[in-house]
Amino acid sequence: MSLDHLMNVYGRLTVGFVSGHGVWLTGDDGREYLDAISGIGVCSLGHGHPELAEAIADQAGKLIHTSNIPRIPLQEQLADRLAEISGLERAFFTNSGAEAMECAVKLARLYHWRRGRENIDILVAKGSFHGRTLACISATDNLKSQEGFGPIVGGFVPVEFGDLNAIEQALKANPNIGAVMLEPIQGEGGINVPALGFLKSLRELCDRHEVLLVLDEVQSGICKTGRWFAFQHEDMKPDILTCAKALGNGVPIGACLATEQVAEAFQPGNHGSTFGGNPLACRAGLTVLDIMAREDTAGQAAANGDAFHAMLQERLAGHPAVSEIRGRGLMVGIELIADCPEIKAMAMDLGVLLNVTRGRVIRLLPPLVISHEELQTLATVVADCVDHWHTARAA
């Protein structure tokens, strides 16, 4: 067993994990780690969830896959549920976030094409991350992710994130723009949270300019911010919405949702997927949503987020190494004053798995079911790491 036959695209930790329970992972080094990244915002119900495990096993014994040639009752049920919680009537199911975004881009383009507008441009945000397919790496200003993969997909115009004025100027300057596409809270970009009111104003702006509003909630969606979707903190609704990560708690599934009026553009033959929305994935998605609705996981995330924020403030407010603590619900970022790749290993030593994004932002996406005591452990370890990092840097 080695890395010799794997394509070398990840800088991996040396540890591997053999099992998990709740927020805890057991490493092949025999140690237990508190998982503060949840498989990158995926395992919101924690690891080894008995009800989910049973549903998956039951479904695997009945029917895993059929393709989309026949009707798939579980897929129809999941689409009903997603329509209910999002207010967007139609769903297309995928196996990943990037595929959900591809679907969103294709749908936005086709919507305008059916109205006689070809080759529209799509306004995207600087610092955005939408996935690793060619269209997704094109829909950002991140040159690092595009380098070597040219020609990139055309038609994406980046503007400052969260800056309504910049968006309005861009819309005025470029009448070819047909959609604005962004994350309501940027994840990979450093947990960037726009001011409350931004989305509602953006909605009004898009309506005035007759452009579609596409929200990427692949990371922020499914309860993480304290609502089913982050856009629901404001009185507005997008035309197209994507989700994925936490929808299956680790079983690969994503969805592109759209309003009836926009989804209408898709007709048989316009789009498809062999695996997308298969019975196994949809059973997992349905089970996740059932559990979350029953246990008010969104409410838990909101309360946990508030408690955690207070714990972090208590230890880190005014800390000379910290430039900002931000987030919503249990989507939390702690920005340090300089790049801090060392923090990951420091936290591992102290039994916590976390992630650093955009060089200097400690990103915490713990399972939403984390207990108060576990949050306290996490806050203590993170604060100790920041102290340690700061001391080592000063030395």
Ligand X SMILES: *Cc1c(COP(=O)(O)O)cnc(C)c1O
Q: Which residues are catalytic?
A: 129, 216, 245
Is 252 within 8 Å of 96 (Cβ atoms)? yes
Kindly state the smallest distance separating residue 42's Cβ from ligand X, in Å. Answer: 9
Among positions 243-272, residues that touch ligand X (CB under 6 A) are 244-245
Please report whether residue 218 would count as binding ligand X according to CB under 6 A: yes
- Looking at the Cβ atoms of 140 and 377, the one nearer to ligand X is 140
Site string for ligand X, 225-244 (x = CB under 6 A): -------------------x
- Looking at the Cβ atoms of 109 and 245, the one nearer to ligand X is 245
Comparing CA positions, the residue from 265, 266, 194, 264 lying closest to residue 236 is 194
Kindly state the smallest distance separating residue 211's Cβ from ligand X, in Å. Answer: 20
Among 22, 39, 97, 226, binds ligand X (CB under 6 A): 97
**26, burial (CB in 10 Å: exposed 0-12, middle 13-18, buried 19+):** middle
- Looking at the Cβ atoms of 101 and 356, the one nearer to ligand X is 101
Among 23, 85, 101, 170, binds ligand X (CB under 6 A): 101
- Looking at the Cβ atoms of 219 and 300, the one nearer to ligand X is 219
Is 222 within 8 Å of 234 (Cβ atoms)? no
Please report whether residue 98 would count as binding ligand X according to CB under 6 A: yes
| DSSP E strand boundaries for 6-127 | 17-21, 24-27, 32-35, 90-94, 121-125
What 8-state DSSP symbol labels residue 186? Answer: B
Please report whether residue 126 would count as binding ligand X according to CB under 6 A: no
Among 36, 56, 199, 216, binds ligand X (CB under 6 A): 216
- Point out which span in 7-15, 95-103, 222-230, 350-358 binds ligand X (CB under 6 A): 95-103
Q: Which two tokens stand for residue 286?
A: 């349905």
Q: Which two tokens stand for residue 372?
A: 């108060």
Comparing CA positions, the residue from 388, 307, 394, 392 lying closest to residue 347 is 388
**45, burial (CB in 10 Å: exposed 0-12, middle 13-18, buried 19+):** buried
Distances in Å between the Cα of 233 and the Cα atoms of 63, 88, 157, 220, 261 are 38, 16, 27, 12, 24
- Looking at the Cβ atoms of 220 and 377, the one nearer to ligand X is 220
Binding site for ligand X (CB under 6 A): 96-98, 101, 129-131, 183, 187-188, 216, 218-219, 244-245
